[in-house]
Each structure stands twice: as structure tokens, then as C-alpha cells.
Amino acid sequence: MSQARQQLAEQLAEAVFQALHDDLNHQERVLLVVSGGSTPVPFFKALAAKPLPWERVDVTLADERWVDEQSSDSNAKLVREHLLQRKAANANFIPLTCTSSTPEEGVDEVAKQVESLAWPASVVILGMGGDGHTASLFPDSPELTLALATDELLVAVRTPSQPQPRITFSADRLHQARRHILHITGDDKRAVLAKALNGDDVRQLPIRAFLTCPLAIYWAP
Ligand SMILES: O=C1O[C@H](COP(=O)(O)O)[C@@H](O)[C@H](O)[C@H]1O
């Protein structure tokens, strides 16, 4: 882990801590929506050390692979192992999977698990892939148009470029958050973001759906 990426994770954790702290001053419960993948690990560790009343914090994911929680591909496993630790061990984590064998069968049940949370989310932290996807809004997904347009909470997604089926919050539900943050690292992702900022076809680079939120960008080489 480079020093720059570690500093970025610590600065991001401080910003998220302040946002949750501020919202907890005037609401009983707050909701934090995090992303999976590999980038958030140092951020999760830094945030887990922050002194919040974590028992009043709900945590869920922007998206999930429809895999068993023991799988190394599970975003929920990542959150449990790196965020729900230390001071944050008492946070209430709501995963985006259930016992159904497919996301299409399980999407309504998962929606019931998350619909009563303290929406709008205090903070949504998005990641981004090298193809410009964010959450599980993929450029090659047949469900992209639906996920960008629907006012439903969640969409089941099948994406040719991805080995597993997925479930994702809709763009609309993510848009409704109070604060939006993009957490990315590396020159390749900086180039993808630059391309996204210089064009407007959201189907080509779905991260564009969040460039007007406003979006705070946390990037390090
Ligand atoms: O598949 C996913 O990828 C993105 C980006 O992940 P990273 O490994 O490049 O950091 C992530 O934001 C998303 O939650 C995840 O499901």
C-alpha cells in the first residue's frame, strides 16, 4: 500500500466520520452505503477506528455479487472483515443477498431488508472499474437502462463481462443520498474518470450518472 493511498483512505475516513457525526446530531439512525471490490479496504480499516455511536449506524452496500458470503468475491465478506471491526463492530450491517438462488428471485426479499433503513443515506461511497462501471451499473449490462431509470430500490443484473450475477441499488436510490463520494486509485482510473468528465454518454461510462450529484472525488496514484 503506497503512502498516498493510505493518506487518501485516512482523509476519506475522516470526511465520512464527520458526515455521520453531523447527521447523528439530528437523527436517531444514519445510513452509510459503501462499495465493494478491492479499493475500499484501507478506508474501511481507517473508518472502523473512528469513535462513533456505531450501534446507531446502518451499513449496506451499493451492490453485491450473488455469491455465498463465504466466497472471496462477496462484498459483504469484505465489509465484515474490514469495516465491522474494532469500534465499528456494533454497526448494523444489512447485506444485499438472501437465500434465493438467483438475484431475480431474491430482489424483492432484499428490498424488504433495506427499505426501512434511514433513507436518504448520509453518504454513498462509490467505486469505479476500469470500464467506467460504478456499483453494478455496467456498460455491457442489458439491465443498465432499467437501473438508470427505475425508481425501484434494487435491480438484478446479468453482465456478460462478469462471472457472477449481481444485485445493485438503482441510480435513483443512490442519487437520493445526502453526499456522494467517488473513491478511486491509480492512473488508469484517473484516465477513465477524465474521459467520463469529457463526455456525456452514460451508457458508455455509467459513472457519468453521478457526475452531477455533486460528487467528491478521492483519488491517489
Ligand atoms: O465489482 C465491483 O467493482 C467496483 C470497483 O472495484 P475495485 O476492485 O476496482 O475497487 C466496486 O466499486 C463495486 O462495488 C464492486 O462490486
Kindly provide the ipTM of the predicted complex, given to two decimals: 0.98
Q: Residue 33 has which C-alpha cell?
A: 452505503
Give whole-number Cα distances, 100 to 108, 172, 215, in Å. 10, 25, 34
Q: Residue 220 has which C-alpha cell?
A: 491517489
CA-to-CA distance for 126 and 119, rounded, in angstroms? 17
Residue 196 binned pLDDT confidence (cut-offs 50, 70, 90): very high
Q: What contacts 108, CB < 8 A, 6 or more positions away?
A: none
Whole-model pTM over 0.95: yes
pLDDT averaged over the chain?
98
Ligand 1 nearest-atom number relative to CA 61 = 14
Ligand 1 nearest-atom number relative to CA 166 = 16
140 within 8 A of 159, measured Cβ to Cβ: yes
pLDDT of 1 reads 83
CA dihedral 117→52→6→70, nearest 10 degrees, is -50
Q: How far is the CA of 64 from the centre of ligand 1 (A)?
A: 9
pLDDT of 161 reads 95
Three-class DSSP category at 81: helix
CA-to-CA distance for 147 and 157, rounded, in angstroms? 9
Of the chain, the end-to-end C-alpha distance in Å amounts to 11
Q: How far is the CA of 37 from the centre of ligand 1 (A)?
A: 4
Q: Residue 76 has which C-alpha cell?
A: 459483504
Range of the domain at 160: 3-219
Pocket of ligand 1 (CB under 6 A): 35-39, 62-63, 75, 127-129, 136
Atom 7 (ligand 1) nearest CA: 37
Tell me, what CATH number does 101's domain have? 3.40.50.1360
Q: How far is the CA of 192 from the centre of ligand 1 (A)?
A: 14
What counts of helices (H) and strands (E) characterise the chain?
Answer: 7, 9
Query: Sign of the CA dihedral 130, 123, 40, 46?
Result: positive
Q: Stretch 29-45: mean pLDDT, rounded?
A: 98
Mutate to test the pocket of ligand 1, among 8, 41, 82, 128 (most ligand atoms within 8 A of CB): 128
Percentage, residues of the chain above pLDDT 90: 99
Q: How far is the CA of 67 from the centre of ligand 1 (A)?
A: 15
Please tell me the total count of domains within the chain.
1
Q: What is the pLDDT of residues 56-106, one digit of tens each?
A: 999 999 999 999 999 999 999 999 999 999 999 999 999 999 999 999 999
Mutate to test the pocket of ligand 1, among 133, 180, 218 (most ligand atoms within 8 A of CB): 133
Q: What is the pLDDT of residues 105-158, one digit of tens each?
A: 999 999 999 999 999 999 999 999 999 999 999 999 999 999 999 999 999 999
Q: How far is the CA of 135 from the centre of ligand 1 (A)?
A: 7
